Amino acid sequence: METFQQIIESPDPVLVDFYADWCGPCKAMNPVIQQIARELKGRTRILKVNIDQSQAAAQKYNVNAVPTFLLFKNGKTVWRHSGMIDKLSLIRTIESNS
């Protein structure tokens, strides 16, 4: 099984969605994230990280609000956004970092 670190070190973009089960905006973003996962399958990986279950990861990446999205490429954070974001903007950001 791959570790978080191994996954984000991919040369392909990896979108990490830091969320919480109690977060309304996180729930609203879930269908958008699922659509993007389907549309960009094979070109981008998407990980969902529950901040309540993975507090160390949330602290490591200074996630102070949810949802927070980080885009990694080759292990480096290339983009970061806190709060809701529309599907098209998210896809454009991922594709511009492909």
Catalytic residue numbers, as ranges: 23, 26
Alpha-carbon span 70 to 63, nearest angstrom: 10
CA distances from 95 to 23, 27, 77 (A): 27, 24, 15
Closest to 87 in 3D by CA, of 17, 14, 12, 36: 36
